[in-house]
Amino acid sequence: MNWINGIQNALDYIENHITDKLDYSEIAEQAYCSVFYFQRIFNALCGMTIGEYIRNRRLTLAGSELSSLKSKVIDVAFKYGYESPESFTRAFTKFHGITPSEARLNGSELKSFSRLSVKIIMKGGNTMNYRIVEKQAFKVLGKTETHSIDESQNKNTIPNFWDKAHRTGVIETLLKKASDKTYVFGICRGNTHTNKEVFDYSIAVECNECTEIPKGYNVIEIPARTWIITECMGAMPEAIQKLWHELCTEFFPTSEYKPTYEMDIEAYPSGNMTSPDYTCQIWIPIEKN
């Protein structure tokens, strides 16, 4: 199944089960990838989290029912997954700008958030520097934390992890142990937990002869894979977020490759990460469609 069909199947599943209790793992299965990577791809493609999309669609449909069918507020609240009329009223008012009761009045003005459909739009002018590389297995030494798959949370917790790593000497410790000091890696591994609401994120360095592992650190073996390695230039984190968007919306939908959905690696060299000419890389393991 190709990239576009997988994402569209997931969107169709959401729409067909919009009044059910939606399980993110079941949604991700429609796209044949893990919950973590579906969340990441969806956010890059759509500019919002999957939770925001579902909430906006439900509130749109709820508004339509209250306005046209004059349904009871309590019935609509429970239908669209709210535990109480009060929580529904708060969400509804924030989204539409009027209360559910006001929505039942003739002439009430409501907001509409339309159903998403995935399409390829051909655009010119973008140049992406990338290489397809066969890499043998290698080891990294890292400091690992568990983070929520919710993009609205991890976009803050991961930068905080990096800040703490710099402040507490983690980066210095890793570089002392590194067999290759070219990069400090940020490694996302989305299939490491039975709890699908979290993923492992490691700050790491290549360390193929790891001995005397410091307490609190761990060794991860990166398997032999085919990788796409893309260059990213610009101030962080905006530049790397832009590159992720281009990979998801331009490269993968039109290429013969797809991610393996095991992990991805952001490779950061030393330097001023706020500089407009700072250059780093994204490594993604891939396979042919």
pLDDT digits 0-9 by tens, 131-162 = 999 999 999 999 999 998 887 788 889 989 99
Q: Is residue 210 part of a domain?
A: yes
pLDDT of amino acid 123: 54
Structure tokens, 134:
């066969």
Tokens standing for residue 46: 């759509």
- What value does the mean pLDDT take over residues 160-176? 95
**Across 48-52, 68-72, 90-94, 218-222, least confident range:** 68-72
Does residue 242 share a domain with residue 198?
Answer: yes
Q: Are 223 and 150 found together in one domain?
A: yes
The CATH number of residue 18's host domain is: 1.10.10.60
DSSP assigned state of 31: T
pLDDT of residue 134: 95
Q: Give the range with max mean pLDDT: 51-60, 114-123, 144-153, 204-213.
A: 51-60
| Gap between the Cα atoms of 139 and 242, Å rounded | 29
Residue 22 lies in a domain: yes
CATH number of the domain enclosing 256: 3.20.80.10
The tally of domains found in the chain comes to 2
Say yes or no: 169 and 259 in one domain.
yes
Q: What are phi and psi of 56, to 5 degrees?
A: -65, -35
Provide the whole-model pTM: 0.80
* Per-residue pLDDT tens digits for 78-122: 999 999 999 999 999 999 999 999 998 877 889 999 998 876 554
Region of 205 on the Ramachandran plot (φ > 0 left; ψ -120 to 50 alpha; else beta): beta
Q: Same domain for 53 and 162? A: no
As a whole number of angstroms, the distance between CA 130 and CA 127 comes to 10
Whether residues 276 and 138 share a domain: the answer is yes
Task: Give the C-alpha separation, 195 to 200, whole Å.
Answer: 11
Q: What is the 3-state secondary structure (H, E, C) of 39-54?
A: HHHHHHHHCCCHHHHH
* pLDDT score for 86: 95
Kindly state whether residues 258 and 160 are assigned to the same domain: yes
Does one domain contain both 67 and 194? no
H or E stretch at 49: none
Cα(251)–Cα(249) distance, rounded to whole angstroms?
A: 6
**Per-residue confidence band for 202, with pLDDT thresholds at 50, 70 and 90:** very high
Q: Domain of 60?
A: 3-103
Question: Residue for token digits 């890059």?
Answer: 44
Burial class (CB in 10 A: 0-12, 13-18, 19+), 288: exposed
72 and 202 share one domain: no
Residue 27 confidence (pLDDT) above 70:
yes
93 with 152, same domain: the answer is no
